[in-house]
Amino acid sequence: MNGTIERYEYCPGNGTRYCLLFGELAEGRYLLAWLMNGDSGGSCVTFGSGIGAGYLMEKMRIGNRTDANALIGFLRMMGVDTMISTEFTDLGLRESDTPRYSMENPPRPVEQS
């Protein structure tokens, strides 16, 4: 996947749909973009391993921890080493959320037409 950026429609079960661009830029360096403005604009971040929700909130200007932890859950399923708050599950959801994905069934890239 090195150097390839792919688009994902991530609906983890917390009531939000995340349109994401994600890929590995170089060995251990990643790009994550959340296209939150009509799937055409938003914010992005490049990072290495060990990323946490607080870092995403600061760098991507995410206003709440629920969204940040859902994105951390996405990154975990993509194989990125992350840190997650104890108030959220390993997939970045609250206990009351209904997960749509698992480590064995991660999100798939959206087919480009």
Query: In percent, how much of the chain has pLDDT > 70?
Result: 77
Summarize pLDDT for 32-44 with one digit per residue, the tens.
999 987 778 889 9
Percentage of the chain lying above the pLDDT 90 cut:
27
For the chain, the structural domain boundaries read 5-77
- Give the whole-angstrom CA distance, residue 79 versus residue 7: 16
The pTM of this model reads 0.76
The per-residue pLDDT for range 81-108, each reduced to its tens digit, is: 887 666 656 555 656 555 566 667 677 7
